[in-house]
Amino acid sequence: MKIAYVFSTSGHTASYKLGQMILPQLENSAHGAEVIGMMFFDDNTFLLRKGDPMGERLAKVAKQKGILLMMCDSCALERGVAEWGKWPEKAKVKDTVEGVQVGCFPDLYAALEAKSPDHIITL
């Protein structure tokens, strides 16, 4: 089963559920489903800052397993982890862990289309 996660709830959702449950399972190949992508909103984008211990672990696992890491462009711009490119370019990541992309829902859909998730789970 192929799944994608959307981290939209503010607070400790990503840091707790991702950091204490999902990420350790992915690191140990014991998650039980193939994770093909993760989308981060609001303050959850801070986990993807360069040097963040959990973000660095996640980037390593994402690279090994081919997991898309994307953050909301508006959320990332507002929090300083993305910057505008020259028009007509879209926003681009700034000071994030390796492999992170920035975009909006159409970008997420396009990126996930080739792998076709069976489920999208919002946390």
Bridge pairing between strands 82-84 and 91-93: antiparallel
The per-residue pLDDT for range 25-74, each reduced to its tens digit, is 999 999 999 999 999 999 999 999 999 999 999 999 999 999 999 999 99
- pLDDT score, position 58: 97
Structural element, H or E, at residue 83: strand 82-84
- pLDDT score, position 88: 64
- Say yes or no to pLDDT of 11 above 70: no
Mean pLDDT score, 14-24 = 90
The per-residue pLDDT for range 67-98, each reduced to its tens digit, is 999 999 999 999 999 998 766 678 889 999 99
- Say yes or no to pLDDT of 10 above 80: no
The sign of the CA dihedral 45, 47, 51, 55 is negative
- pLDDT score, position 78: 93
- pLDDT score, position 91: 86
